[in-house]
Structure 1
Amino acid sequence: MANPAKAKGTAWESALVAYLREHHNPGARRNAQMGRLDIGDIDGYYLHALEAKAEKTITLSSYIAQANREAVHAGQPYGCAIVKRRMKGVADGYVVRDVATDVRLMNRLKDAEEILRSIAPTVYEDFDQRHREAA
């Protein structure tokens, strides 16, 4: 690839897809770029349009604006940027979203857990314990 910055971005996207396939969704994949109606860099991050960034200078505000815009295009409720941490692997990258998006996501999670707890308390207890142990 003639453009080193583009090659770095492509490598980061590929590494993210591999990580997501192993730890989250085996169907995760890179999206084709669609210009002004772009739907994010990676499909398969549950409920999100994902914008992958591997740049020397980090500009969170532009990343979040782009991710939120692309979430609308993709028909996803949430947008986020996953930003490469210099000299670190994928698991050490940063997932970034604005506070409004994060509050909406946490409210959805809270509501879902309350529903599960009311319908199947034992299942909820097992679920809660398993995820607390993973932290």
Structure 2
Amino acid sequence: MSNPSKQKGSAWESAIVAYLREHHNASAHRNVQMGSKDIGDVDGYYLHALEAKAEKEIKLPSYIAQANKEAGHAGQPFGCAVVKRRMKGTADGYVVRDLRTDVRLMNRLRDAEALLEEYAFEAWLEHDAHHREAA
């Protein structure tokens, strides 16, 4: 690969996949590009089409629009961009989505937790305690 920008982007995608495999989903992987019907750069981020960006100039509006479009192509309810933070590791990258998408995600999480609390209270208590731990 002779294009330095493409190399940087591929390296960032690979770093995201490695991070997701260790901390979220062991089957996360890079997607094959599909042209106008792209489904995001990385598969395996629960409920999301993930667009990876490692560019010197950050252009959030276009990243979010692209992620949302590709979520539709992928049949995922949410799109997000994972933007490389200069001079930082993968875990310090930015996960970015528009407020509309984030509110939909939080509503889904709130409703799922309310169901768990109502129908399996002990399991909800364990779940709540586990996820309240600081990062």
Normalised to the residue count of structure 1, the TM-score between the two structures is: 0.99
1:1-135 aligned at under 5 Å gives the runs 1-135=1-135
Give unmatched runs, 5+ long, in structure 1: none
- C-alpha RMSD over aligned residues: 0.6
- Length, aligned pairs only: 135
Amino acid at match of 1:76: Q
Amino acid at match of 1:95: V
CA displacement, residues 58-84 of structure 1 (integer Å, 9 cap, x when unaligned): 000000000000000000000000000
In the TM superposition, what is the alpha-carbon distance from 1:134 to its structure 2 partner?
4.1
Amino acid at match of 1:59: K
Amino acid at match of 1:16: I
Amino acid at match of 1:56: K
Amino acid at match of 1:73: H
CA displacement, residues 32-66 of structure 1 (integer Å, 9 cap, x when unaligned): 11110000000000000000000000000000000
Normalised to the residue count of structure 2, the TM-score between the two structures is: 0.99
